[in-house]
Each structure stands twice: as structure tokens, then as C-alpha cells.
Amino acid sequence: MIKNYLKIAFRNLFKYLGFSITNIFGLAIGLACCFLIALFIQFELSYENMHDKNVYRYIPRSVNDSGILQMQTWTPPGFTPAMDDYFEEITHSSRYTTLDDEPLIKKGDENLPPLNLSLGDQDFFEIFNFKLLRGEADKVLSQPYSIVISSSIAEKFFPNSDPIGQIINYDNQFDLNITGVFEDLPANTHLQFSYIIPFETLGDVYQTQYGFPKDKFLTDLESWNYTAYFKLEKGVNPEQFQAKIDKHFTELRNRTFNPDAITDWLQPIDEIHFTQGIKGDVANGDKNTVYIFSAIALFILIIACFNFMNLSTARALRRAKEVGVRKVMGAQKHQLVYQFLGETFILTSIALVASLIFLEILIPWFNSTMGFSLSSSYLDNYKFLAVLLVAGVITAIVAGGYPAFYLSSFEAAKVLKDTDGRAGKSTLRKVLTVFQFMIAGFLIIGTFTVIQQMNYLNNKDLGFDKDQIIYVHPNSVVAKNMDVLMDNFRKLSPVVSVTRSNGVPGFAHSHWSYAMPEYKDKSFNINTLIVDYDFVDTYDLEIVEGRNISREYATDSAEAYLINETAAKQLMIANPIGTNIKALDGHPMGKIVGVVKDFHYRSLHQPIQPLVMRHDPRNAYTISVKLAGGKINESIALLEQEWKKIAPDYPFDYAFLDDNLESLYQAENNTGTMLSAFSGLAILIACMGLLGLTSFMTEQRKKEIGVRKVLGASVTGIISLLTKDFAKLVLVSFLISIPLAWYALGYWLNNFAYKVEMNPLIYISAGVVLLLIAMLTVSYQSYKAASSNPVDTLRSE
């Protein structure tokens, strides 16, 4: 009997080849999208799963005067060792940072690539379970001038020798002893580096480059620029313990501890990837993106399943007499159900194989678009294999269950009398069509909205001039000769202006603590830009009150401060000019000399926050150059010549500010790209089903069409007759999708402090596009039917 079922299944597969290909292709695309997004979700949820659960990152938190919770990753360099020395609950601790500049790393005369050089304390490899191929976890960072390198660096530059004990030079300043080799880090961790050296070495770098005393730097409790990680004893309650740390830290800084204030946060390491709104955090994930892609995968699979059901129930009318004959010959209902489910499982199996082929095509595109490194190594991924199996079985049951019971429910007497083969109603097919195009409409509206929001972000006035500006981080050689290099840059004809700072607008993340005498013992942790005298003019910032920091005033070099409008409002300074203010890092008391008009010194995800700008050459380590328009390449070449005169061994690595500002919204741009692609696939699947349904319905009504043509109906009139019902269904589906899209997109837009308004034109445009696509699909088959010769359709069969 099974052999007979298989014969019938394959016979019908080829007999209705068009329907079969449409069903298989639609299911294959739906399953491929589902599997691709399953890989993506599995990757996102796997972040930090290699580490122990009792590892935490310390997040300072505070509530500003507007009642907004503020969080940051930065702590002072003296914070971590002070806590480790005091609390027994801490088993291991480490400071961590990645150097922004690209130092010269050499093995003899051979340059090593300056890839992500980071710094950590001795306990680093005991906190994080990164695999050490050579060296011991508690010793590799125990000596001041040691370095641990990645396995790929070791294999490339020490192919035939043991790297342990060999010397590499850092920036022509220090010889570093290789003490360990770690396995290349997986992509699913927020820590990414190719070299790591002891954190204490940073004290030597600052003392050598900027003259800042090493001991003072390593114990400082006011310059907030470094991340702190702790590994706690098992069983320690992190919520209770974080309050103890907060209290002790406050007392060390001679502040008054407020037990009712919000405490700082020991953030579990497995929450880092999805936590948003933390200043200074590395690029991390967004659970909303996971939810969006999950919904898209489900939607596309539902469309594919409904497509299958729709076409199968439509095709059922052609097999009605077959069912009647089988029932007359004694076939039971359950036997027919088994037969039709078997046919569905064969189609689904073929679609499953085809989906894996599509998946292999989609993965490289997805990786390049989203910047991921997903892999399709199925045999090593048991969870994914389970998803494949479960998805295939569920799809077969969902897609084939109803058609199987629908076909087997035909009454033999009725279908054998019905010479036209009409049995059942088309209500279900209409409902499924409406649902398919409702999802398609939702995705089109989403795509249009994301594109509009991204255009808004990329074109919004940021309050500063971003065009024709390049910036570069100086190395140790340039750092000692920054004034000379900047003077040489200024002499070049294409250069409009040159300035230095500790960051550039859009990427300014430094914080400092400040005291204001009128607030007595209270201090403020405020975003800070360290600038020189030319910064305001280079970036075309507007002074709305007072004046700029100027060379004309000798005291401005250490005692002049600028604040933005938001700082004046939130600190409630009625008359800011002349107000006393002091940076708590050894600077003398100064005064506010000017108020800068608010500008977006960080991304548009967040509202503008208070900002202090002050002059401090020791911490201004970024050079910005504004170029005149015209021959950019020639201008860059001239700048490089001057750079090479001072630092011939170092590459002139620069970045255009406007290009890098776009990278702030890369995740949203990627989401827009993926949404567009998946929307296109959803529409394709829905239109394939619509094409199949139109083909079936025109064939079913071919005699009616022939009669109408004989009676004088025009081709246009017949096309209108055949398409108007579908047009109504598409219109209804789109109207249903509007409130759903309005709610979902409103929620997504709330992630931005600055966003577009919900524009009705987007919905109208999306509706027109959806209707046009659907009508073009229907019109093709309708035109073929309407232009056919009525003699052929009315001929007696």
C-alpha cells in the first residue's frame, strides 16, 4: 500500500508540475529564511556563554536632575584594585581597556599588525575562560612588560619557533616578553583583541608620552575611562554586594554616601550583549532586532505554509473525482488522509533539501550585510539540526494537514455528480490570501519607515560641521611632536584649520568629575571634551553666550571652561559666565567663559546631555584637520608627507568624520537592508501563490470567459472581471496591516531620541506598491485568459 501511495504521490507531483514547483519553491524560501534567522538568533543568544556565571562588569549609575537613569562602563584606574584589596567576596578582578591609537609592534625588523591591543590585570585570564594554548592563566600578565598574543599572530610570525620568551617591541619604547598564546577569540564575546598586555604598562605609556606620573595614574579615583570586571565567590548576592562597593567607593572619594540613592550595578556578563543605554559600551546587540527578525522568519514561514494550503485546496477541486472514485472503491477516510499527508511530506522533504541550498546562498550575503560570522556547519550544531527537523515536521503538518482532511472529506455521491469538479467553497482561500498580503503590507510599511528614519539620521543637522574633516590618533612619536606636526599641517594650502581634542563629535565618550563651590560638597560626573583653542572654529560650533577659550588670555590654558546649553539648564546655572568650576583631577579652580549651542557630540539614539569643554593638552590625543574642497587625495598625500617626516615608521591612518558618523547607525542600516530583502521574499512567495490561484481560477472559468467573448465582452472588461476580487482582498489585507504596523513601528522608533513622525504618505505609498505588485501578478494570467480564442475554450471535450 505504501508503494502505491508513493506512486500516486509522484504521479501527481509531475502531473501538476506548475503547482508542485510553486509549492516547493515557496516552502523552500520560507524554510531557508526561517533557518537563517534561527542561526542568527542562536548566535546572538550565545554571547559570553563560555564564561562562568559569577563574572560581573561594574556599571556606575546615577540619576540626573531630570530623573533620567544614566549608566556608563567607565571607572577610574584606581577603583578596581581598591575594591579587590578591601572585599573578600572578590576572588579575581581586572581593569580593561583597548588602545585607540595603533602603536608600532615589531619583531626585530618585522612589523606585526596593530590589531586591537588591549590591557588587563593579572587576573584577566582567570576571570574570562578564553583558552590559553601556551602559558598559565595566573602568570601570563603578572610581569609589567609581558604580552600575550593570539594564535593567529603566533602562527604567522613564529611559524617554526616557540613564541614564549621571545621579545617584541612596543612603539619603539618598550620591549615586551611573550608569556602566553591564546586561542583566537570567538565572535560571540564583547571583548575582542589580538594582543593583551598588563594594565600597569599604560601608566608607563602615559608617563612617557604625556608626562603624567605613573603612580598617580594607577591610583587615581577621578578620571573615569576604564572598565572593571569582578569574579565573585559563588553564592554572593550581587545586588546586595553592589551596594557595599558603592558605599566603600564613595567613602574613598571623600563623598557622603546616600543609602537611598540608586546604587551602581554589578552587571552579569551574559547580560552585556543585550543591555542598551550604557555610555562607553562596545557595539552590542539589540533584543528588538532579535524579536524583529524572529517575527519576520515566522511571518515568511506562515506565508509559505498558507501559500501551500491555498494552492492545495484549490488543486483539490481537480482531484475531487479521484477522491469520489476511491471512496466508492472502499477507501476509508483515514487512508485518504494518510495518502495526502504522505504527498505533503514528500513535497516538504524536497523543499527542505532545497531550503538548505538556498541557505548556503543566503549565509554569505547575510554575513557581509550584517557583519556576522554565521556558519552552516550543521553536523556540529545539534541545536540547529533539531530546529531543521522540528521545523520540517511542523511545516508539513501545518501546511498539509488541512488540505489532507479537506480532500478526504469530499462526499463521493456529490463529487461524482459534479461534472465541473466544483466542490467546497473558496472562503478559506480568500482568508489565507488576505493574511498573506497583510503580512506583506506590514513588511513593506516597515521597510519604508526604516529607510525614512535612516535618511533622517544621515541628513539631520548635528550642530557642527562634519564635512571635509579627517582625524587621526597620534602614535608615541607624534605625541611628543604634536605641536610641530600641527604647525606643519597648518602651512599646507589645502588645510583650512587644525585642532586637537580627546575625541571628535559623535564619538566623545570621556567623563570627568567636577565640583562647583555653590553646590558645596556635591560633585558632577559630566561628559567632557578636552579641546584646544581652535576646536570651536574647526567644527563651526556656535557660542551663544560669553566667548571661546582663547590664546589671548593666559589663564585660559588651565582655568577656562565652556559648557553647552543643556549643562546650563540641568545644572540650573542662571548666569553661567563667570561661575566657578573645578575639574577633580588636579586642575586649579576655573571659570565658565562661554556657553556653546547644543550639538550632537554623541549619536542620535540619545538626547543631548550636559557637556564640559576645557583645555588640557595632556589629554588631547586626537588631531582633526579641516580640508578645503577639491582634490582630497592630493590633500591627504600632502598631510602624509608631513606625517612621515616626524614618524616615518608609522602609517598615516586617518578617518573621514562623516563616514564614521554613518557607522553609528550601522545596525539600523543593516536592519533596513534585511527588512527590505525579507519583505521582497515575502511578497515573492505571496505573489507566487496569487499567480497559482489566478491560473487555477481562470482555467476554472475558461468556458464563462469564452461565452462572454462571444457575446461581445472586451479583453479589458474580462481582465477587470478577473482581477477585481483579488484587488478587494489585497485592499482589505492592507487595511488590516496599517494599525499593526503603526503600533510596532512606533515602538521601534522610540529607541531614538530624534526620529521621524509617522507619515501617512508612507502607508499610502506602501499600499499602492502592494496593490500594483498584486495586480501585475494577477493581470498576467488574466490577460492570457482574456485574449484566448473562445473556439478553443468552448469546444466540447
pLDDT tops 50 at residue 181:
yes
Secondary structure element (H or E) that encloses residue 461, with its range:
none
Would you state the pLDDT for residue 57? 95
Q: Name residues whose C-beta falls within 8 Å of residue 394's C-beta, 6 or more positions apart in sequence.
A: none
pLDDT-wise least confident of 350-354, 464-468, 508-512, 736-740 = 508-512
For the segment 770-794, what is each residue's pLDDT rounded down to a tens digit? 888 888 877 776 777 777 766 666 6
Amino acid at 134: R
Domain segments of the chain as ranges: 2-25+290-457+667-794, 55-272, 469-664
Confidence bin at 8 (pLDDT 50/70/90):
low
Residues β-bridged to residue 656: 470
The grid coordinates listed for 183 are: 586561542
pLDDT tops 90 at residue 498:
yes
Question: Residue 175, class by beta-carbon neighbours within 10 Å (0-12 exposed, 13-18 middle, 19+ buried)?
Answer: exposed
Confidence bin at 38 (pLDDT 50/70/90):
confident
DSSP reduced 3-state for 272: coil
Would you state the pLDDT for residue 639? 93
Q: How far apart are CA 259 and CA 139, in angstroms?
A: 39
Hey, which of 505-519, 745-759, 778-792 has the most confident mean pLDDT? 745-759
Best CA proximity match to 682, nearest among 367, 445, 394: 445
Confidence bin at 423 (pLDDT 50/70/90):
very low
Q: Which residue bears the cell 507619515?
A: 759
Give the pLDDT mean for 230-238: 92
pLDDT tops 50 at residue 420:
no
167-170/105-107 β-pairing: antiparallel
DSSP reduced 3-state for 284: coil
Give the pLDDT mean for 336-352: 76
Q: How far apart are CA 777 and CA 387, in angstroms?
A: 34
Q: Which residue bears the cell 515536521?
A: 393
Give the pLDDT mean for 724-750: 87
Give the pLDDT mean for 186-206: 88
495-501/622-627 β-pairing: antiparallel
Q: Name residues whose C-beta falls within 8 Å of residue 373's C-beta, 6 or more positions apart in sequence.
A: 187, 367
Would you state the pLDDT for residue 417? 60
For the segment 202-218, what is each residue's pLDDT rounded down to a tens digit? 888 777 766 778 888 88
Would you state the pLDDT for residue 531? 92
Confidence bin at 422 (pLDDT 50/70/90):
very low
Between 645 and 68, whose confidence is greater? 645
